[in-house]
Structure 1
């Protein structure tokens, strides 16, 4: 049964472009993880400040295996300083992980 993991990240308005850039730089990094089915980064289009990172997994075990893997740790580390610039700071001020199972919907 597919499970959905949603990371709800509160991002100040002036940090949204940087969040999108960081995700774009890591595009495809999770694609080969066993049980991974898909990914979306949702940007708010209203006055909300919460971005949603939605991933789909074949089962909870697949998600847990990825979230404890070296690849996960590598992708979620702080960016290293480059050319004398300081370490990049987090763009979000908080995040919350939500977990769902698909209970219905349509295929169209």
Structure 2
């Protein structure tokens, strides 16, 4: 999935805010960018979000953004192995929401 520069900047800002990263160093920024790109790929898959919807879903207030921010926080804290078990209920709820949303869109097209 291609991420535009402005989307990447906004998602990196959200991740840095959640992780309480207030400094601006090139090495840290590169780590945050990698973390954000990995979070997008992982959560798009886990939540069943279509690639074309992912950026808006992760930037808008709501559960997808909350999961994105928390995924980044767990990754930054080297606790990523704990994320899925701690957020299983929220992941499944969001996945179901997207399944219903996309099923309705498919029904409306036919």
Band of TM-score, shorter chain: under 0.3
Normalization by structure 1: what TM-score?
0.27
The structure showing larger relative contact order (alpha-carbon pairs under 8 Å, at least 6 residues apart) is 1
Scaled by the length of structure 2, the TM-score of the pair is: 0.26
